[in-house]
Amino acid sequence: MCGIFAYSGPRNNAPLLVVEGLKCLEYRGYDSWGVAYQAKGDIKIYKKVGKIGDFKAKDHKFETSSLAIGHSRWATHGGVNRVNAHPHFSENKEIVLVHNGIFENYLDTKKFLEKKGHKFISKTDTEVIAHLIEEHAKTHSFEDSVKMAIKEIEGRYAIVVIKEDENKIIAARKGSPLIIGVGKNEFFIASDIPAFLKYTNKVIYLDDNQICTVENKKISFFDNIKEEEVKKRIIEIEWDIESAEKGEHPHFMIKEIIEQKDTLNRAINQDPKVIEQVAKEIKKAFGTYFIGCGTAGKVALVGEYLFAKISKKHINFAFGSEFPYHRQFLTNKTLLIAVSQSGETADTLEAIEIAKEKGVKIVSIVNVESSTMARISDIVIPLKAGPEKAVASTKATTSQLAILTLLAYACNGGILEGKHLLINAASQINDMINPRYEDHIMKLARKIKNVESMYIIGRGMNYPIALEAAIKLQEVSYIHAEGFAGGELKHGPIALISKDTPVIALVANDDCKNEIISNATEVKARGGYIIGVSPENHEVFDYWIRVPDAGNASPILNIIPIQILAYQLAVLRKNNPDMPRNLAKSVTVK
């Protein structure tokens, strides 16, 4: 959610470099953007509403500069307009700031500053921070003013600040990611690694309550709670620029769907010692929770079913946002397993913080191994999926499902059995991700592209996949889609069925098969158009999409044709599947 990019170094095209960095962060979601830079002793600002991707160098002549900051904004306080877009000036126009997160107590601070004579031009909480730093700067240095100001901020934030008469960048974070890219005598500051990956793969991770100052080709770090300098280490990451680009594909979403041929195998190829260690922790814990938000939450719910069936263990499930209401059940014998792609989801991080206060051991299943979530966990299981830039998660989802399946088998002493099951499932993905299979799904997409509503039903392990299928369709096609447990249809939802209403039935060759086919038959009797996702064709299906028979890995293979269908519907309906409206890749605010 929102994107920050800043540069300090020898290059004299810093404003354009920042624009290009923000383009790499478009997947995070935004509605306006802007750049601020130092030029001839002044700070210049350029702001626009709309897409960064539409901007060309000829559209605006930036002056020469070697220091610049930029931001892509998703509106939280104040409407979508140029005034509310970042960066924001202080009242005296000497301090400029960009900000991710929410300044929860900004109204009280704003009233205090207004009494001091400050006048505000925007409706944002961000402008208040710039004015607050200015107020402290009347009697303190620039750096001390930033340190003092952020101590007054309640909520999660990432800020980057520059001042007119000082050739330095100051950045600080709490709960919202900021990463420093380290080049040769130059530094990049960004919300995510792909923004500067073409320049360097050497990074420093800023931790909560830490401040970094970049000045004269040097960087320093300060802990604002302990009030002391801190040393940070440089880490080389394994991602390459090709993995973060679309290549020959029209969108990241279809690229990442296709990559599941490889990413699933990488997810399966885990260090067996780590899997066994987590299995041991699950077996000895007095109460284990799976948590996640959005798609990761649906994956965590599948985990509850997997463990019940495979290892005969009861695991609790809660969405990250709902987990705080379970805090009374937490003890130092509880285990929390958090699932995430980014490792920066605000609600999941808050859940982990609550758990840690109770002495709970934390395991994270996460794609970004250097994320906040990974760094505060006791054990990390990496997805190894590589950068996932489409907002709608695909390859990370199936990798998460694979790891939970592997853990369920490990808890039953059958880690090799689980691995063989998953390897077999992965080998069959080639039968699904190919032009002929995609053409077959495209015929269906063309048939249903103008529907207003559709439904997905499943049972057992495929009930959460029905919920996830609905998310995929909602996110990118903007069709009203809902997922239901098949047995719940007759308790209300079947009233929504009318002639030709599309209903997708997720079927596996398991003990739920007959029941879900029966549920589909009930729907068809009311005029529904039945789309079967199943290893076998059934008489009740009006349209059949074949999936391999994968046993307990059926949730992994059953979601893939829905991913393809969602993508195709988005394209047919002229939506951008990579950047769906109102959504962001990483939800870093509550």
- Which of the residues 395, 472, 524, 585 is marked catalytic? 585
DSSP β-bridge partners for residue 456: 483, 504
Active site residue 585: yes
> Amino acid identity of 542?
D
Distance CA 172, CA 170 (A): 7
In sign, the C-alpha dihedral spanning 164, 170, 172, 176 is positive
**Residues near 444 by beta carbon (within 8 Å), at least 6 away in sequence:** 531, 543, 545, 565
Contact 102, 76 (CB under 8 A): yes
- CB atoms inside a 10 Å sphere around CB 93: 13
Rounded distance between C-alpha atoms, residue 469 and residue 120, angstroms: 45
Pairing of strands 187-190, 228-230: unpaired
Taking the mean position of all CA atoms in its chain, how far away is CA 480?
A: 22
Cβ atoms within 10 Å, residue 483: 24
Q: What are phi and psi of 50, to 5 degrees?
A: 120, -160
Name the catalytic one among 2, 293, 411, 512. 2
DSSP 8-class letter at 367: S
Among 68, 64, 58, 9, which residue's Cα sits nearest to residue 33?
A: 68
User: Counting beta carbons within 10 angstroms of the beta carbon of residue 353, is it exposed (0 to 12), middle (13 to 18) or buried (19 or more)?
Assistant: middle
Helix, strand, coil content of the chain in percent (nearest 5): 40, 25, 35
State the DSSP H helix or E strand holding residue 399, giving kind and residue range, or none if neither: helix 395-410
Residue of 229, 256, 249 lying closest to 147 (CA atoms): 229
- Give the Cβ contact number of residue 561 at 10 Å: 24
Task: Provide the annotated active-site residues.
Answer: 2, 585
